[in-house]
């Protein structure tokens, strides 16, 4: 793996002079520049961390030979090198991370596609599994990836994915099903299976399972060798509407897929009406404990974005879990998209009063590559937030401005 990464890095530093013109025609620059500024009326104990976050992703994608493509992508997060005096080129280079470095083999055995090396994985809106850059204020410095291999078989009816490798992140998280201690990600080896079926033109089904093996688990501290989750999702999407439902369960055991007495689980339902310029929508999210720390579902400028700093969606809302209701509408006018949302956050068993949030967000699509946005969110805290030591007891207002450039 190290030799592969070194080869791809060398490719970006000095392209071979013998490269043919045909290959040079297929060299693409790829990446994005993202800036988000956020401010809050109240900021008890630094929870909201008002300020500006910045991230640059930049790299190359090129055909090496027929049916073989190489990708390399770098990540940089600190625009002004905070706390560094007399900045040098080396100071800036020390803040650069290798986010992707892989080769993609297409038409392998006439029916497979293999991606080998450091890579992103999953859908960005997934509540359980996404390794890659996010696009919200909190956690912008996180772009976890995978050192490993992904094998995909796809036809008109099905897409089957197999995954194996080691996690590459720059943070420390708890095991997917909880646990008594904090574990550094690079101790974890992951294996995954994902099967998507196109049952009809409007109905799709998906089943998946991921196992995370801790190579440095400690049985004395009651750590388990296997942590992971599995689940299923169905989506019905006729032309006028979209309806999806997902269920997932987590486990923590010394034997694969063996659940304990109090395993975490999650239910997520989404619905939307697809109209010309107006899209009404609704969502319901219910979770007991932590199913997976690798989801990327953080709705709400105030509550969701703050909880994005935790190890899993809404893990910090209450000790036992969360139930969330959301209703919203999107309105398209020329290059603008206006979104109005209302949220209700409550502890899973509804023992405490709800936290209410209202958001208004405007996005301006300057072209296919540049988007500007502005948003304001108001949160009225319920019992859980008022009793928690790290949250404010007063109502809060959060404002954000941002820019995203993709290339």
**Residue that is written with structure tokens 């942590």 in the block:** 227
* pLDDT of amino acid 223: 64
User: Strands 336-347, 321-333: parallel, antiparallel or unpaired by DSSP?
Assistant: antiparallel
As a whole number of angstroms, the distance between CA 393 and CA 371 comes to 35
* pLDDT of amino acid 46: 56
User: Strands 145-154, 172-173: parallel, antiparallel or unpaired by DSSP?
Assistant: unpaired
As a whole number of angstroms, the distance between CA 36 and CA 308 comes to 15
As a whole number of angstroms, the distance between CA 223 and CA 354 comes to 34
Q: Is residue 258 within 8 Å of residue 240, measured between CB atoms? A: no
CA-based radius of gyration for the chain:
22
Helix (H) / strand (E) containing 307: helix 305-307
Q: What is the dihedral of CA 297, 301, 303, 309, to 10 degrees?
A: 60
* pLDDT of amino acid 52: 84
SS (H, E, C) 164-197: EEEEECCCEECCCCCCCCCEEHHHEEEEEEEEEE
Burial class (CB in 10 A: 0-12, 13-18, 19+), 390: exposed
3-class DSSP state of 163 = strand
From the list 300, 296, 285, the residue with the least C-alpha distance to 379 is 300
Record the pTM.
Answer: 0.84
Q: Is residue 343 within 8 Å of residue 356, measured between CB atoms? A: yes
Strand partners, 270: 244, 283
3-class DSSP state of 161 = strand
3-class DSSP state of 360 = strand
Q: Is residue 64 within 8 Å of residue 103, measured between CB atoms? A: yes
* pLDDT of amino acid 271: 98
Q: Is residue 197 within 8 Å of residue 205, measured between CB atoms? A: yes
As a whole number of angstroms, the distance between CA 348 and CA 150 comes to 36
CA atoms within 13 A on the CB side of 223: 18
Q: Is residue 248 within 8 Å of residue 230, measured between CB atoms? A: yes
Tell me the pLDDT of the chain (407 aa) as tens digits.
Answer: 444 444 444 444 444 444 444 555 589 999 999 999 988 776 555 566 678 888 899 999 999 999 999 999 999 877 666 555 667 777 778 778 899 999 999 999 989 999 999 999 999 989 999 999 988 876 666 678 999 999 999 999 999 999 999 987 654 444 454 444 344 445 678 999 999 999 999 999 999 999 988 766 554 455 677 888 999 999 999 999 999 999 999 988 777 767 767 788 999 999 999 988 999 999 999 988 888 888 888 888 888 766 655 555 565 566 677 899 999 999 999 999 999 999 998 888 878 788 899 999 999 999 999 999 999 999 888 876 555 544 555 788 889 999 999 99
């Amino acid at each position: 793996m190290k030799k592969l990464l070194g080869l791809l890095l060398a490719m970006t530093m000095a392209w071979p002079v013998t490269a043919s013109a045909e290959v040079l025609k297929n060299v693409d620059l790829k990446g994005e520049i993202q800036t988000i500024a956020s401010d809050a009326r109240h900021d008890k104990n630094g929870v909201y961390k008002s300020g500006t976050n910045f991230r640059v992703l930049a790299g190359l994608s090129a055909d090496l030979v027929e049916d073989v493509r190489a990708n390399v992508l770098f990540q940089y997060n600190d625009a002004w090198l905070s706390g560094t005096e007399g900045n040098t080129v080396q100071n800036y280079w020390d803040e650069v991370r290798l986010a992707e470095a892989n080769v993609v083999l297409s038409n392998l055995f006439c029916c497979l596609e293999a991606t080998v090396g450091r890579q992103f994985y999953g859908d960005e809106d997934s509540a359980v599994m996404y390794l890659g850059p996010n696009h919200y204020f909190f956690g912008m410095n996180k772009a976890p990836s995978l050192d490993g291999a992904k094998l995909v078989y796809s036809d008109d009816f099905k897409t089957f994915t197999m995954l194996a490798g080691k996690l590459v992140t720059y943070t420390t998280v708890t095991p997917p099903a909880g646990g008594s201690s904090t574990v550094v990600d690079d101790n974890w080896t992951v294996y995954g299976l994902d099967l998507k079926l196109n049952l009809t033109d409007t109905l799709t089904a998906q089943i998946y399972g991921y196992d995370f093996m801790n190579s440095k688990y400690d049985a004395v501290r009651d750590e388990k060798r296997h942590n992971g989750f599995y689940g299923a999702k169905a989506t019905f999407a006729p032309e006028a509407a979209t309806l999806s439902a997902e269920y997932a369960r987590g486990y923590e055991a010394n034997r694969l897929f063996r659940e304990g007495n109090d395993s975490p689980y999650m239910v997520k339902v989404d619905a939307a009406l697809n109209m010309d310029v107006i899209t009404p929508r609704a969502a319901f999210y219910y979770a007991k404990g932590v199913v997976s720390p690798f989801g990327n579902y953080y709705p709400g400028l105030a509550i969701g974005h703050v909880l994005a700093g935790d190890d899993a969606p809404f893990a910090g809302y209450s000790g036992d879990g969360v139930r969330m209701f959301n209703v919203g509408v999107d309105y398209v006018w020329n290059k603008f998209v206006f979104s109005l949302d209302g949220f209700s956050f409550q502890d899973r068993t509804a023992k405490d009063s709800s936290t209410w949030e209202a958001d208004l967000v405007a996005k301006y699509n300057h072209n296919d590559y540049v988007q500007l946005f502005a948003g304001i969110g108001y949160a009225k805290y319920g019992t859980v937030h008022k009793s928690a030591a790290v949250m404010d007891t007063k109502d809060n207002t959060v404002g954000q401005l941002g820019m995203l450039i993709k290339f």
